[in-house]
């Protein structure tokens, strides 16, 4: 989903700094963005979002390369699946750093530049778990709602600076993580077909659909949208406020 967001923003003419642990995937993504022909530049920065020093390097290199920073898209891989008795204190701390603190730290580092921009954008890629807890994903169910509470407060505080803060809550999106979660079952294909049948759209979402929404939220057309969480799940959630 992060790569899809980068592609969608580059198509709109944004220069993009990409951040991930695997250098080879970053290089592939940079090549994809440069091949779009939009004129947008791309920067690859390898690092771990759970490490504050790596996030500092990301912001520093972005400003050094592009001279400004207008948009932050917070997107990390989800914490491991499991129930309450499956995790010790270290697992909870690691999920805290990955899922919650990485988002807070990166945004805090970028905030001075976002304020300078006058039209800064923060978009958080979270999970449908912030609307309805997901079975077997306790760590995600615990920490992702914390991102939403923080984002709502930040949207109130930073609105006077022209900054909007919004969140996207994906449901079943056909990503590598989703494929890995199914791989742990006895019959992954049957499990997938069962879950697809529950979705009114009768399919999993495409990462590009998340990217397109991200690009819209970062645009001037979305300047009056802030503090919201948009569920993208093919109509699966049944709550009136979902």
> What residue ranges do the domains of the chain occupy?
2-232
Residue 78: the pLDDT is: 84
* pLDDT greater than 90 at residue 235: yes
Alpha helices in the chain (DSSP H): 2-11, 23-34, 52-66, 89-95, 102-117, 138-158, 176-183, 188-198, 207-217
Encode pLDDT of 97-125 as tens digits: 999 999 999 999 999 999 999 999 999 99
Q: How far is it, in rounded angstroms, from Cα 227 to Cα 147? A: 12
Encode pLDDT of 132-167 as tens digits: 898 889 999 999 999 999 999 999 999 999 999 999
- What is the sign, positive or negative, of the torsion defined by CA atoms of 211, 111, 75, 242? negative
Three-class SS state of 72: strand
Class in CATH terms, 2-232: alpha beta
121-125 and 71-74 beta bridge pairing: parallel
Q: How far is it, in rounded angstroms, from Cα 211 to Cα 231? A: 14
């Amino acid at each position: 989903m992060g790569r899809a967001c980068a592609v969608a923003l580059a198509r709109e003419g944004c220069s993009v700094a990409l951040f991930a642990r695997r250098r080879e995937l970053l290089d592939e993504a940079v090549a994809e963005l440069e091949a779009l022909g939009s004129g947008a530049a791309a920067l690859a920065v390898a690092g771990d979002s759970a490490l504050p020093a790596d996030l500092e390097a990301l912001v520093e290199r972005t400003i050094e390369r592009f001279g400004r920073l207008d948009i932050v898209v917070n997107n990390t891989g989800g914490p491991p699946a499991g129930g309450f008795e499956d995790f010790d204190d270290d697992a909870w701390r690691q999920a805290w750093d990955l899922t919650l603190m990485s988002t807070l730290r990166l945004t805090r580092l970028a905030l001075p530049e976002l304020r300078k921009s006058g039209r800064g954008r923060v978009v958080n890629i979270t999970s449908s778990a912030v609307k309805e807890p997901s079975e077997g994903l306790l760590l995600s169910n615990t920490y992702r709602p914390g991102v939403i509470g923080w984002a709502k407060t930040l949207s109130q505080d930073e609105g006077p600076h022209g900054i909007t803060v919004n969140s996207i809550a994906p449901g079943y999106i056909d990503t590598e993580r989703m494929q890995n979660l199914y791989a742990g079952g006895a019959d992954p294909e049957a499990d997938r077909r069962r879950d697809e049948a529950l979705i009114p759209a009768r399919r999993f979402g495409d990462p590009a659909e998340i990217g397109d929404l991200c690009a819209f939220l970062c645009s001037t057309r979305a300047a009056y949208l802030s503090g919201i969480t948009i569920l993208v799940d093919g109509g699966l959630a049944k709550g009136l406020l979902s």
